[in-house]
Amino acid sequence: MSIQPMFVVAKSLDDHRAEIAAALAEHVPSDERSLLVELVADAFVDGYASGCRDGTHDDLIRWVDRMCDAHVDSPAIMTFFGNACSLLDGYLAPRGYAGAFRAPLRALERPIRKVLAKPRQSSRPQQERLDETDASINAMLVRLDAADPLTAEHSRAVAAWSSRLARRLTLPEAEITFVSRCGMIHDIGKVTTPVEILHAPRKLSDEEWVVMRSHTTAGERIVLEDPGLARFAPIVRSHHERLDGKGYPDRLRAEDLDLHTRIVTVADCFNAMIGRRPYRPPMSPTHALEQLDANIGTQFDKDVVAAMHEVVSKA
């Protein structure tokens, strides 16, 4: 893309900044909207325009990081940044901004998600924050139980398998708790999936699969609404990725998938195989382990699958 069109789009964003920022801030729930949110929205549009002019949005990403540090206890700011790129894209698309001018927004989504998921020092005491994390996770499970008790039951089981795997892999206690909590909320996005798709006693159509797969991105969005849970968001999004890059939603590859994600993925698939499903009877644990073995290196991590063998044999 030449410099000229990006300069033009930056000028146009500058000219309409107040109006665009107001439209973005509108999407933050009204009880959380504040002058701060409006200022942040305004500065975000400004930063995006400057980045278009400079050919890089690194400054904008660093600014988002600083804002998250400064407003670590403000859910509205996290909510805003979690949706800012897609909202700005959604605002610009119908107003004649060509796809090329909006392309940097798509490139920005991932670094911003990373920034949001960074652990941050809250100003509140640690115990208070830990209690709040548990309370938030419980609240998610209550939501899931109400929407689909089978998925809630599956989530509790995935939490237990994840924690056993992490222990078998000799991870520190804090990481065992982390993956267990990830397991608990990995499918929270299914609160948005219609039950007739979730429980279809047949193969899904292509369109239904698109909806089913969107539970990953929907889950990430839900989790990012709570700053105390933001660090779980990347795994909620990525638990259906595969080492060979054929997973979803981002087709990440092995080098992008950390051990925590690999643990939750194995725990999730194993429990899905041995659990009740509307369209097939449960598999035996031995058969499920064979399926894990058959997909080592393409879908699953070798060491995590080995740990699953040990966990099952000791169960």
Site for Fe ion, rule CB under 5 A = 187, 268
**Rounded Cα distance, 189 and 52, in Å:** 33
Length of the chain: 315
* CA dist list (Å): 233 to 146, 211, 249, 267: 22, 19, 13, 17
3-state helix, strand, coil in the chain (%, to 5): 75, 0, 25
Quick one: 187 or 301, whose CB is closer to Fe ion? 187
**Rounded Cα distance, 261 and 246, in Å:** 15
Q: Which residues contact 38 (CB under 8 A, 6 or more apart)?
A: 21, 22, 25
Min. distance of Cβ 203 from Fe ion in angstroms? 17
Quick one: 89 or 241, whose CB is closer to Fe ion? 241
Min. distance of Cβ 279 from Fe ion in angstroms? 15
Min. distance of Cβ 222 from Fe ion in angstroms? 13
Amino acid identity of residue 139, one-letter, is A
Min. distance of Cβ 302 from Fe ion in angstroms? 21
**Rounded Cα distance, 152 and 172, in Å:** 26
Min. distance of Cβ 117 from Fe ion in angstroms? 18
| Torsions phi, psi for 157 (to 5 deg) | -65, -40
Q: In which residue are the tokens 């979690």 written?
A: 82
Q: Which residues contact 29 (CB under 8 A, 6 or more apart)?
A: 76, 79
Q: Of 105, 82, 81, 111, which is closest to residue 92 (Cα–Cα)?
A: 105
Quick one: 46 or 268, whose CB is closer to Fe ion? 268
| Torsions phi, psi for 69 (to 5 deg) | -65, -45
Q: Dmax of the chain from CA atoms?
A: 66
Min. distance of Cβ 148 from Fe ion in angstroms? 11
Min. distance of Cβ 121 from Fe ion in angstroms? 31
Min. distance of Cβ 213 from Fe ion in angstroms? 9
Q: In which residue are the tokens 């407003």 written?
A: 71
Quick one: 241 or 268, whose CB is closer to Fe ion? 268
| Torsions phi, psi for 151 (to 5 deg) | -70, -35
Which residues share a beta bridge with 277?
Answer: 280
